Amino acid sequence: MADPRPIRIFDTTLRDGEQSPGASMNRTEKLEVAQALEKLGVDVIEAGFPIASPGDFESVRDIAAAITEATVCGLARCNDGDIDRAGEAIRPARRGRIHVFLATSAIHREFKLRMTEEEIVERAVAGVTRARHLCDDIEFSPEDAARTEPDFLCRVVEAAIAAGATTVNIPDTVGYATPQHMHQVIANLRNRVPSIDKAVISVHCHDDLGLAVANSLAAVEAGAGQVECTVNGIGERAGNCALEEVVMALRTRADHYGCSTGIDTRRLVPTSRLVATITGIQVPRNKAIVGRNAFAHESGIHQDGMLKERSTYEIMRPEDVGLEKTDLVLGKHSGRAALADRAKALGYELDAEQLKTVFEQFKVLADRKKEIYDGDIAALCEQRFAALPEQYVFEGYELTSAAGASPTVTLHVRHAGEPKSVTITAGDGPVDAIFLAIEKLTGVTTRCRDFRVQAVTVGKDAQGEVTVELEHEGQVQRGRGVSTDSLEASAKAFLAAVNRLALGPQPRLHPQRP
Ligand code: KIV
Ligand code: ZN
């Protein structure tokens, strides 16, 4: 059998993924995600859009300085200011890339850019040429390529390669393509652009019709050598091609695609969890590869088949994506070493300080809950260690409540080291009362856009995980809290979001966000 064709994995969780509403990450969190992506084995990390804000610029710079194996990429529109800023941000990188984009479809040319075909080609060439003076590794994207006239797309791509683009990325910006269409777009470029072999063909598909992964795979079949994707498929609108899905499809169906990637697939689940925790965007239970039910067999017929022979109903092994086979139970007599072992097996490498914190919390949890499952340990390990300066720290509450009457709640927090309390009688129920008490105590009034509770593991004493999304003066932030007491988890989640809101809006330009 021929050697598998290597496919580069270009991760844009920190750029396109961060464009999901409410998914913004701070500098520390972005660095943490970038380090996880490097461990996962991605080839390119698109770290951000440096011109968008000073914060985006600093993050790309931090990541460029910290990452040693993957290429670190910064996005730029096709103008001098953007390109120079991106060049400056990636300068510390061992391997850096500037990604220049310019819309090419008739709709974008006419209504957004008001530019002729001639002007587009000229601008693309000028942008790539300028970027090439700053860096040897240049990616060019004709935005909305999937809706661009085939002849014009060939012309722009050829001009970009002649100007020095080393990767040409073909975006389906609005998620309009179908697999056959995408296959044709790539095949057309390969057949009609004489210099196409001088560049790597990449594909960047959005999921508006739920076809992003299928379209990316079709592009690979047609000869694309790079796939752009995000962890958990997060991204603008319906999101992007999901990294874990495209990688596992290429691996599981290597017989069909004849391709390989450099991804350590055992890190898929831990990376997915990290991104879900940091962004607050939860993974649906039935999500392929990383959803909680992805390897759960419920029907008796399936369970029977599985017991006889796993391959009857399983096309991938859970351990290959980082889901441990066992759900070993720990309890109050388990020691620090057993906890560290279990955390490591689940993909969490804690330093001594983090292990100390997690172990203390594990002991508190073991007093509340007889059996501690993998899900509980994951929830403890997923807390953000000093990711944000915590302004308000939850300390406790007392609450009295009866059906049909407003509850009375006394809430205790710590603020700048000082204890603070408030008592109110208000709200539609205990959760509402706690949220109102937090607003009173912090002085931050919010609109709650989303509130979700889910059990981390099984059983009546399972920990509840609460996520909230709050809006305050046009800013949207998310928070997460975990506890065996769902009211405590709610208070922690609400305070986490308020802490983010209290940091104030992070200044950011949205110059024609791609
Ligand atoms: O969707 C898109 O077109 C993009 C480009 C910047 C590649 O995100
Ligand atoms: Zn995109």
DSSP 208-264: TTS-HHHHHHHHHHTT--EEEEBGGG--STT-B-BHHHHHHHHHHTHHHH-EE----
* pLDDT surpasses 70 at 385: no
* Ligand 2: centre distance to CA 382 (Å): 28
* Ligand 1: centre distance to CA 138 (Å): 15
Q: What number does the ligand 1 atom closest to the CA of 171 have?
A: 3
Distance of CA 418 to CAs 188, 396, 415, Å? 66, 14, 5
Q: Which long-range contacts (CB under 8 A, 24 or more apart) does 310-319 make?
A: 315/252, 316/248, 316/252, 316/289, 318/294, 319/266
* CATH code 3.20.20.70 for 5-279: yes
Which string of b and e fits 219-239 if b means at least 16 CB within 10 Å? Answer: bbbbebbbbbbbbbbbbbeeb
- Match 């495209």 to its residue by tokens: 246
* Ligand 1: centre distance to CA 16 (Å): 8
Q: Which of 21-25, 376-380, 438-442 has the largest mean confidence?
A: 438-442
What is the percent of the chain where pLDDT is above 70? 95
What's the pLDDT band for 506 if we cut at 50, 70, 90? low
* Ligand 1, atom 8: closest residue by C-alpha: 514
Q: What number does the ligand 1 atom closest to the CA of 141 have?
A: 7
Distance of CA 367 to CAs 299, 363, 373, 411, 484, Å? 35, 6, 14, 23, 11
* CATH code 3.40.630.10 for 392-502: no
* Ligand 1: centre distance to CA 249 (Å): 23
What's the pLDDT band for 510 if we cut at 50, 70, 90? very low
Residue pair 170/202 in contact (Cβ under 8 Å)? The answer is yes
Find the mean pLDDT for residues 120-149. Answer: 98
- Rg, the chain, Cα only: 25
What is the percent of the chain where pLDDT is above 90? 67
How many of the other CB atoms lie within 10 Å of CB of 194? 10
Which of 16, 51, 107 for mutating ligand 1's site (highest number of atoms within 8 Å of CB)? Answer: 16
* Ligand 1, atom 1: closest residue by C-alpha: 173
Range list of β-strands (E), 27-109:
44-48, 71-77, 96-103
* pLDDT surpasses 50 at 65: yes
* pLDDT surpasses 50 at 370: yes
Q: Look up residue 487 and give its two tokens.
A: 């009211």
Distance of CA 204 to the CA centre of its chain: 15
386 or 506, which is more confident? 506
**Ligand that lies nearest to the alpha carbon of residue 174, given by its number in the listed order:** 1
CB-based contacts of 195, cutoff 8 Å, min separation 6 = 158, 161, 162
CA distance 284 to 294: 10
Q: What is the pLDDT of residue 505?
A: 59
CA distance 214 to 216: 5
161, burial (CB in 10 Å: exposed 0-12, middle 13-18, buried 19+): buried
* Ligand 1: centre distance to CA 204 (Å): 7
Find the mean pLDDT for residues 66-70. Answer: 98
Residue pair 48/80 in contact (Cβ under 8 Å)? The answer is no
* pLDDT surpasses 80 at 209: yes
Pairing of strands 8-11, 226-229: parallel
What's the pLDDT band for 239 if we cut at 50, 70, 90? very high
Q: What is the pLDDT of residue 198?
A: 98
* Ligand 2: centre distance to CA 486 (Å): 37
Q: Where are the domains of the chain?
A: 5-279, 296-323, 325-385, 392-502
Q: What is the mean pLDDT of the chain?
A: 91
Q: What is the pLDDT of residue 511?
A: 43
Which of 44, 98, 101, 107 for mutating ligand 1's site (highest number of atoms within 8 Å of CB)? Answer: 101
Collapsing DSSP to helix, strand or coil, 322 comes out as coil
Residue pair 212/233 in contact (Cβ under 8 Å)? The answer is yes
* Ligand 1: centre distance to CA 108 (Å): 13
CB-based contacts of 309, cutoff 8 Å, min separation 6 = none
Q: What is the pLDDT of residue 512?
A: 44
**Ligand that lies nearest to the alpha carbon of residue 141, given by its number in the listed order:** 1
Q: What number does the ligand 1 atom closest to the CA of 174 have?
A: 1
Q: What number does the ligand 1 atom closest to the CA of 228 have?
A: 7
Strand-pairing partners, residue 248, are none
Distance of CA 198 to the CA centre of its chain: 31
Q: Which long-range contacts (CB under 8 A, 24 or more apart) does 323-326 make?
A: 323/269, 323/294, 323/295, 324/374, 326/374
* Ligand 1, atom 2: closest residue by C-alpha: 173
* Ligand 2: centre distance to CA 448 (Å): 28
Per-state percent for the chain, helix, strand, coil, to nearest 5: 45, 20, 35
* Ligand 1, atom 6: closest residue by C-alpha: 514
* pLDDT surpasses 90 at 98: yes
Pairing of strands 408-415, 418-425: antiparallel
382 or 57, which is more confident? 57
* pLDDT surpasses 80 at 142: yes
Collapsing DSSP to helix, strand or coil, 5 comes out as strand
* pLDDT surpasses 60 at 409: yes
Q: What is the pLDDT of residue 513?
A: 47
Q: What is the pLDDT of residue 20?
A: 84
pLDDT in tens, 287-328: 999 998 888 766 777 777 777 778 887 899 999 999 876 556
CB under 6 Å to ligand 1: residues? 16, 101, 141, 143, 169, 171, 173, 204, 206, 514
* Ligand 2: centre distance to CA 505 (Å): 24
